[in-house]
Amino acid sequence: MTGERVPVRRTAKLFIGGAFPRSESGRSIEVVAADGHVLAHASRASRKDLRDAVVAARKAQKGWAGATATNRGQVLYRVAEMMEGRRAQFEAEVADAGSPDPGREVSAAIDRWVWYAGWSDKLPQVLGGANPVAGPYFNFSVFEPTGVVGIVAPPEPPLLGLVSRLAPAVVSGNAVIAVVPVSVALPAVSLAEVLATSDVPGGVVNLLTGLPEELVPWLCGHMDVNAVDLTGCSDDLAADAETAAAENVKRVHRAPEVDPFDPRAQSPYEITALTETKTVWHPMGA
């Protein structure tokens, strides 16, 4: 063989139900680096792919919510371990996506999984607990996952933005469908490969690469989605998304606008934003 070798260009697929299918439409879209050269081709998810992801999330959610809080924390910690082992790949991909400090971003993303993993079994004690009531009763507030949650991933920072939305959503027992902009498709698909080998049950996290303006209105209007996190939406798209979400009274959340590297960007209130609070009464007895 003579001449310069041409490297195999990556074809990034979707992540639905623990598998990596191509879009049912057969469409793909170029992933372009910050300097303008083509990095790969990513699947361009369709509405049918979105519906398949919702079905997979609904099927997986009950079992994930039924796992112990400690077990969910262990699984999220395992995600962080696996990302640590693939640090070089993540750093290269976030650099291509335009991250000004890839090493810092990958470290922050890994640490964010660990931080939320630690909250898995502490949330009820810190933010729930026994309530004082007038009468011979015990009164407790406990948290339950909302169910199936749609997430719009921020376009930047490429990896930390997505992790900051996924980790607080899944640690409480929700299942997630995340719409990921094409500009950050490669770090997202690499994260999906980590999730697929980190004991996260298939369907708990589903990642759809594509155009948010095509998918988000349908995600917010889907009757089997219980809540949406619109942190990654533009203001114009968020307005239409909120209108669609109102049709079945979905919970709508947008995280505060803070520096994603700021300690305030990780908060237990990001977990409770996508949970329901159940109040339980019980007689004290004689």
pLDDT digits (tens, 9 = 90+) for 212-267: 999 999 999 999 999 999 999 988 899 889 999 998 899 999 998 889 998 888 99
Per-residue pLDDT, averaged over 23-39, amounts to 86
Residue 260 belongs to a domain: yes
Q: CA 196 to CA 24: how far, in whole Å? A: 21
The mean pLDDT of the chain is 91
Residue 1 is predicted with a pLDDT of 52
Contact of 210 with 29, CB cutoff 8 Å: yes
Per-residue pLDDT, averaged over 264-277, amounts to 92
Residue 193 is predicted with a pLDDT of 96
Contact of 26 with 11, CB cutoff 8 Å: no
Cis? peptide before 157, omega within 30° of 0: yes
In the chain, where do the E strands start and end? 10-12, 28-32, 38-43, 129-130, 137-145, 148-152, 175-181, 205-210, 227-229, 251-253, 275-283
User: Could you give the count of Cα atoms lying within 13 Å of 259 in the half-sphere of its Cβ?
Assistant: 5
What does pTM read for this prediction? 0.91
Residue 3 belongs to a domain: no
Give backbone dihedrals phi and psi of 94, rounded to 5 degrees, phi first: -70, -30
Choose from 35-39, 60-64, 137-141 the range with maximum mean pLDDT.
Answer: 60-64
Residue 178 belongs to a domain: yes
Other Cβ atoms closer than 10 A to 267:
17
Residue 131 is predicted with a pLDDT of 76
Residue 1 belongs to a domain: no
69-85 and 102-119 are packed helices; what angle lies between their axes, rounded to 10 degrees?
Answer: 160
Domain tally for the chain? 1
pLDDT digits (tens, 9 = 90+) for 161-219: 999 999 999 999 999 999 999 989 999 999 999 999 999 999 999 999 999 999 999 99
pLDDT over 80 (residue 7): no
Residue 73 is predicted with a pLDDT of 96
Question: Could you tell me the pLDDT band of residue 69, with boundaries at 50, 70 and 90?
Answer: very high
Q: CA 219 to CA 153: how far, in whole Å? A: 13
Residue 54 is predicted with a pLDDT of 98
Choose from 37-46, 91-100, 106-115 the range with maximum mean pLDDT.
Answer: 106-115
Residue 5 belongs to a domain: no
Residue 143 is predicted with a pLDDT of 85
User: Could you give the count of Cα atoms lying within 13 Å of 37 in the half-sphere of its Cβ?
Assistant: 3
Which domain range does residue 130 map to?
11-283
Residue 2 belongs to a domain: no
Q: CA 194 to CA 235: how far, in whole Å? A: 31
Question: Could you tell me the pLDDT band of residue 66, with boundaries at 50, 70 and 90?
Answer: very high
Q: Which of 32-41, 189-198, 258-267, 269-278 has the lowest mean pLDDT?
A: 32-41
Q: CA 46 to CA 25: how far, in whole Å? A: 7
Q: Are strands 28-32 and 38-43 parallel, antiparallel or unpaired?
A: antiparallel
pLDDT over 70 (residue 286): no
Residue 284 is predicted with a pLDDT of 79
Contact of 47 with 23, CB cutoff 8 Å: no
Q: CA 157 to CA 120: how far, in whole Å? A: 25
Contact of 154 with 102, CB cutoff 8 Å: no
pLDDT over 70 (residue 2): no
Contact of 160 with 108, CB cutoff 8 Å: yes
Residue 194 is predicted with a pLDDT of 97
CATH number where 117 lies: 3.40.605.10
Residue 285 is predicted with a pLDDT of 67
Percent of the chain with pLDDT over 70: 99
Question: Could you tell me the pLDDT band of residue 280, with boundaries at 50, 70 and 90?
Answer: confident
CA gyration radius for the chain?
Answer: 20
Residue 43 is predicted with a pLDDT of 92
H or E stretch at 63: helix 47-66
Helices (H), 120-211: 123-127, 160-170, 185-196
